[in-house]
Amino acid sequence: MTARILEGKVFAAQIKEEAARGVESIKKEFGITPSLAVIIVGENPASQVYVRNKHKTCEELGIRSEVVTMPENTTKEELIAEIDELNLDKSINGILVQLPLPAAIKAHEEEILNRIDPLKDVDGFHPYNVGKLVTGSPTLVPCTPAGCIKMLDFAGIEIDGKRAVIIGRSNIVGKPMLHLLMSRHATVTVCHSHTHNLAEVTREADILVAAMGKPKFVTADMVKPGSVIVDVGINRNAPKKLVGDVDFDNVKDIASAITPVPGGVGLLTVAMLMQNVVKAARLQLQ
């Protein structure tokens, strides 16, 4: 058996189509254009690429995009003042601070992100939005796990009643993924660096989500035949070579469906960000 390859570009296109329809709906209903402000501090080359990509996607879908560029020596107070200004600006629906922050203010990352108005928090990281997700009434949800759920839906992969295993417990992927899968009636186990007999647990998974940031960590002997593998990892193991957390070449012959790296889950994140901008605009207009 060779697995069905879950190509990110196919599902990202569907997610973006939904977002574009949402933009048009808000324009017709309220006469406004949903908008996103991205703050980038310093000159990290990778961050600049990500911000350009977000800006370009906004333009494609009819979302107004504003990029706020701040110098490397920006203080915590200056960055918070900028966030406060955007919080008060009714023409801005979504606010995103591009990470990583420069070393001088990196220690204040949590305080800075928590300053964003929860209704404009399109990353879904604010404690208010995390709490809403945990209690089963999600508003703005972190983009990567939300994109994974959308992909499973678009691919026609059943979640209800399935045994799901997540490797990794980060606030950005592992924990929100747990709550999203539980809300869809999966039975979920979260594994991490202290989990005993990891391979025994992962072999029980109908849906296996790998999100621990270790290249090719999930090997063929850890996978149940016919399972669905969602590889969230992006690791650089050579200057121009990206690999996931799953040993793709060997696992694809055992799984029924698998996401590739590159070209898989990574493409869903920006697409879901666009949906969150639309959702944030609607929340603010209610």
Domains in the chain: boundaries:
30-118, 142-267
SS3 64: strand
Measured over the CA atoms of residue 118, residue 122, residue 125 and residue 130, the dihedral's sign is positive
User: Does this chain's domain 30-118 share its CATH topology with 142-267?
Assistant: yes
Residues 282, 201: Cα–Cα separation, whole Å = 41
pLDDT in tens, the chain (286 residues): 789 999 999 999 999 999 999 999 999 999 999 999 999 999 999 899 999 999 999 999 999 999 999 999 999 999 999 999 999 999 999 999 999 999 999 999 999 999 999 999 999 999 999 999 999 999 999 999 999 999 999 999 999 999 999 999 999 999 999 999 999 999 999 999 999 999 999 999 999 999 999 999 999 999 999 999 999 999 987 777 889 999 999 999 999 999 999 999 999 999 999 999 999 999 999 8
CATH topology of domain 30-118: Rossmann fold (3.40.50)
Residues 225, 257: Cα–Cα separation, whole Å = 10
Return the pLDDT at 241: 87
Q: Which residues pair with 235 in a beta bridge?
A: 243
Residues 259, 234: Cα–Cα separation, whole Å = 12
Residues 58, 152: Cα–Cα separation, whole Å = 24
Q: Which residues pair with 238 in a beta bridge?
A: 241
How many CB atoms lie under 10 A from the CB of residue 42?
19
Nearest residue to 152 (alpha-carbon basis) of 82, 209, 84 = 209
Residues 186, 161: Cα–Cα separation, whole Å = 5
Which CATH number does 142-267 carry? Answer: 3.40.50.720
Tokens of 65: 């995009």
Return the pLDDT at 2: 84
Cα dihedral value 60, 58, 146, 37, nearest 10: 180
Which residue numbers are catalytic?
54, 98, 123
Secondary element (H or E) of residue 151: helix 143-154
In the block, which residue shows the tokens 């922050």? 101
In Å, how far are 65, 89, 130, 221, 226 from 199, measured between CA atoms? Answer: 45, 50, 30, 7, 16
